[in-house]
Chain A
Amino acid sequence: MENNNKITEDANSKSLFPANETDRELYSIPANSGWFSWDAIHEIERNSLKDFFDGSSVSRTPKIYKEYRDFIICKYREDPSRRLSFTEVRKSLIGDVTFLYGVFVFLENWGLINFGVSSASRRSSSSSSLLFFDGEDERGGKVRFEERPPNGVRVVSGPYSSKVVSSSDVGDAVESAFKLPPLASYSDVFGDLMRFRGSVCGNCGEECSSVSEKVFSIIVYDDSGIRRICRFKQEIVLTVSPRDESANTDQESTVMCLKCCKIGSSGETNGGDDYKFKDSKDRSDNQGADFWSEAETLLLLESVSRHGDDWDLVAQNVQTKNKFDCIARLIQLPFGEPLLAELMANSIKESVNDRHSISGTDNNEQVQCTPVESPKILKKETENGDLMGEMEQVDDEHSENPPLKRRCVASVKEAGGSLMKQKELNLRVAHSLLSAAILATAVSPNIAAAAAEAALTALRDDIQFGMEEVFMGEMHNDTALLECYSSNDEPGRDANVVEFETGEQNALSETSEDKPAKPSVSLAFQIRAAAATALGAAAAHAKILADQEEREIEHLVATVIETQLRKLHSKIKHFEELGLIMEREYSLIQEIKESVVTERINTLQHFMKAGISRWKDNTAVRSFTSSVS
């Protein structure tokens, strides 16, 4: 469960916690209660409390249930640190106590009330702190301790007005680590995103069910140290707008649920093919700010080749664009397209060009993705090598990367006419690989991973097309990506990551937009499969790099430690030697002392024997005797 959600989580969490929202009062609820919403009654509630929904009595209607529910939750949230008891609740609610108790127990079991207030520590726990961090923090090592919110905070349910998330928020949101007081409902945290909730299918009038839910989790450590995963869903509505937008500029684009679109009941005048899916998040990405003129692109390429991955310098050179734009643009560049055109001039024109709107000159903005046989997905690692070889030709032209071995040059050339298509597919994979690989080599592993991941998120949105190949690829990628994340250690890069995401998503969603128009659906699947493969390979590459780095660091640390140890050892030895020397000297001194004493005694005896008492010397003798005694 967690693994599945991990990817979407990271893609979304950044946009979900804008920095300016930190003053909002939040409550946390357990992961499995993510379905809860103030505005609606969920299926779980219907199933668990059937009595309120089977119309068996006037005293039990959905409206009354909702009133009960909202009252109980509000009551609890007046003071979340205190355990709310049923007896307290029932005095203020009209209704059969048994059913009230049912609602109460239901809410308690789902953690919507009395969550984190263990019955054992009703009162004492109120001052204990909870530890929260989201996926971002987990990787970056940023951990926030959050005291419980002040008592008396009350969350009032209300309709959430709908507004559009522009991707410009995304940038602000990057660095904000979010805070979560103990109890938060989905709508409290993501009220802004709930604006989609109200969208109604333009065709069938139902509440839009084509909302694809993105789930992300928040890991919460409660006072008993138990790790809980909170899952929240972000809902993204697929906006369906008429294909020919220029012709319909005066007409408002309609939101239609997927159901309608699939059935093809989208109206008498329009066939289902005239609509394309649009991730509403991406809408703003296509706007003027992101438009790159040819001159700008050239400037970018030039400065990249000069300054490498020093993006500040690159951006300075390009002037009209900022750092993130430059990075995003570079990923999107269809490297090697000219070469391709030369190589495949004939076959492309004949077989593909008419079918794929993605080939040719008009797709400078897109990452090229092409079909690949499914077995290849599983062999990403090896394929990666092959394709890298192919890509290098492309590389040389753009002098983007230091040239590597030209391993597979021959393989491109030997491609016969019948294999042409297959070959072309490979090359297209190579493009996406190249862009990912450039990231991996020129930028840093985590950025490449983020780009790949973002693209995967986009792919995931299309899962309803039911392509198992991509699934396979994703499964594979998930692990690689997760591992990549573990090596993410530069919070400062996060901004870049987001930019990449938007860039990649943009590119990918553009490709997917084209799909419904195509006659062959399987081709679309294959294209996605190819994209997944390419990104997977990039991720794998990024992971390898990360691993290498890690190993290197480990090695260096080990060396340092070893040196220090050696130093210590030599010092100890030195001190031991010194000790020995001191001892020897000490014994020597002792001997000398002894010999001096005996000499004195001898001298004294000599004096005695001689019997000479020279009074002059008396003092000397006396001093001798005194010193001896």
Chain B
Amino acid sequence: MSLLEVEDLHTHFIARGLDNRIRTARALNGVSFALEAGRTLGLVGETGAGKSLTALSIMGLLRAPARIVAGAIRFEGRDLVGASEDELNALRGGSIALIVQSPRTSLDPLTRVGDQLIAVHRAHRQVDAAAARERAIAMLASVGIPDPARRMNAWPHELSGGMAQRILIAMALINEPRLLIADEPTTGLDVTVQAQVLDLLRRLVREKGIGAIVITHDLGVVAHYCDDVAVMYAGSIVESGSVRAVFGDPRHPYTRNLIASTPEKLQVDRGRRPAVPPPNLYALPDGCHYRDRCPDAAELCAQAPPWIAVGDPGHCARCHFASRQGTAA
């Protein structure tokens, strides 16, 4: 049994338009993957591909008009789709923790850092205030914050971005979660700080045997810090496998495109608009969703592509021509 199994997950935005018709944006179209304890999975893809939405679906944090319409999310064998809000709340911050990309705005500005750590700990563990405080200080020390006892009294606005992200990591790990989801954990941090934070994250995840999902635009982050990678496009995973296999021998044209378009930095361009508009989730083409943008599109692509296993064990791609050796790598 894997730590986390996501199976054929469909999350849609369902809203009524001004012309009184119900419109459905198919934001996730059958996402499937599995994560083993102690491994780190990188989830990459362009903005709107559904990376963050996958995370929100797993955590049960979707808000209207988004909702899960089909699929299963099994955490340690237990299906979270349809779990009650109370059950989910008990898992969130306890067994499943989240780290977000805006650490400074994610801390309550009116509560001292230490009190926030203590509150998260006591929300999930029956401990007294003194023990929680001790644990919080220990956590701050473990994420490399100097003079942790004093830092407990700091206000969020007194923290730098890197410091805030460390505190968020401490908060996420304080209850020893078994699954950690990091959504763009280093976006907005200085480059040197990025590396420190990622190293820290990697070390803690390894030490505690946590299963982690790292959502990022940065293929470099994936290459250096992840064991496996899943590439998302238009709400589905188009290729997945070990980082070495996928990056070394990409089989899906979208993956090749991603890698080719970012030769040096290995970073998906997020600042500028993409040359091609993102896929219209209200009217995805039949067959392969990447068909409109694919340089190698053929007639066969009008049919839904199969999930083809290639070369390396676990390496799969959702393309009719996946068994053909790639060119750009």
Q: Do A and B bind each other?
A: no
Contact surface of A with B, Cβ cutoff 8 Å: none
